[in-house]
Amino acid sequence: MTPLQVRRWVIAGGLLVSALYFGAVRAAQPEREFRETLYVFGTLVELVLYGEDEVSAAAVTAEAGRELQQRHRDWHAWQPGELEDLNAALAAGESMEVDPRLAELLREGQRLSCLSGGRFDPGIGALVELWGFHQDTRPEGAPPATEEIEALRAAHPSIMALHFDGTRITSTDRSVQLDLGGFAKGAALDRIGAKFLAQGAENAVLNAGGDVNVIGSHGGRPWRVAIRDPFVWSAMGSVDLQPGEVLYTSGNYERYFEQGGQRFAHILDPRTGYPVAEIVSVSVLDTRGTRADAAATALAVAGRADWPQVAADMGVSAVLLIAGDGSLYATPEMLARLRPVGGGFPAEPQVVPLPAAVPDPACAAL
Ligand code: ADP
Ligand code: MG
């Protein structure tokens, strides 16, 4: 396929939520692919199975669909369900018994938040709500009042305030409201991937609006996933994913609102209470969606100065950042895997080797 054909397909497909798989187009074996699309976690989730007979593929994806809907209900902070109930309990200073899967996700959230130095923090739900990013639709109008932002920042709500007694959860701080939007998709796709493997589905792509887990390969070729160029309606590069790898991108180009020429994006810096501005897109190549998703969010918050240390501390090594001025930063591990689409990268990537991780005993104890 020529770059031009790729481009056309990208634009024609309307799937440019930041990822696509070229392999699927080139293979031209539609009878061997089974696709299912659902709307969960505020995005279209596409499940593609390769090489399965239609009956078993339909059964496997139907079950995955039910699991995704259930995770959406249990893990969505702003719609009726378990997490909304937990948030109400925490605000009232009460404890609540939760499903073991939610308890495990919250523990993982604490570990990841700790490793990120508080840049990723699913305890900032009140801030997310204040900015209006709790709904699937884009917020309109003016940013919230400075005093309201400042009040929430000063309260410093954090997932670190949660205490676990088995699956019973309490918080030492009533201002904590959980919003798992920064890593719920990754955790859900990890669960679906494990289910697929357990059910014998050996070749599949799970794509949640550009956040992708792959299983196996695509007819002997790796699944090829594109990374969107946040400035134009096109892909800027692609990565061939090995079996079990994931590629997650967080960016400020999809969910944001604009006022007075300024863009306010849905990734918030818990330390300031304001949306991140410097970094437009972060992609993380990893082997676990939960960590990749959290890390992509954390590195967007970390910004140009701090992201290499935060990446090292969170344990991710293949990272691509795109800054607002168009600069590209990539770790050697990412650069070795990233291929330009359309004749070259939009800018020469600056190669950034990561420093050694600085282990924090407090995080290791979680
Ligand atoms: P996307 O959903 O586009 O993949 P992210 O994975 O970065 O993007 O998730 C952004 C969502 O995470 C926001 O909509 C909000 O619900 C939540 N969020 C925003 N800022 C943070 C943060 N600093 N830490 C944890 N979660 C956050
Ligand atoms: Mg994320």
| Residues in Cβ contact with 2 at an 8 Å cutoff, skipping those fewer than 6 apart | none
Q: What is the pLDDT of residues 194-219, one digit of tens each?
A: 999 999 999 999 999 999 999 999 98
Q: What is the mean pLDDT of residues 353-363?
A: 97
Task: Say if CB 189 and CB 207 are below 8 A apart.
Answer: no
Residue 276: name the closest of 246, 260, 248, 296 by CA: 296
12 pLDDT band, cuts 50/70/90, is very low
Ligand 2 midpoint to CA 250 (Å):
6
Q: Which ligand is nearest to the CA of 210?
A: 1
Q: Nearest C-alpha to atom 22 of ligand 1 is from which residue?
A: 120
Ligand 1 midpoint to CA 182 (Å):
4
| Residues in Cβ contact with 237 at an 8 Å cutoff, skipping those fewer than 6 apart | 226, 227, 320, 338, 339, 340, 341, 345
Q: What residue ranges do the domains of the chain occupy? A: 82-171
Q: Which ligand is nearest to the CA of 121?
A: 1
Give the global pTM: 0.92
Q: Which residues are annotated as a binding site for Mg(2+)?
A: 182, 293, 297
Q: What is the mean pLDDT of residues 23-32?
A: 50
What percent of the chain stands above pLDDT 70?
91
Q: Which fold has domain 82-171?
A: T-fold (1.10.3980)
Q: Which of 114, 159, 266, 307 to mutate to test ligand 1, by most ligand atoms within 8 A of the CB atom?
A: 266
Classify residue 140 by burial, with Cβ atoms within 10 Å: 0-12, 13-18, 19+.
Answer: exposed
pLDDT value of position 11: 28
141 pLDDT band, cuts 50/70/90, is confident
Q: What is the mean pLDDT of residues 156-176?
A: 97
Ligand 1 midpoint to CA 75 (Å):
14
Q: Which ligand is nearest to the CA of 208?
A: 1
Encoding tokens for residue 165? 């007694």
Closest atom of ligand 1 to 186 CA is 6
Ligand 1 midpoint to CA 94 (Å):
26
Residue 129, ligand 1, Cβ within 6 A: no
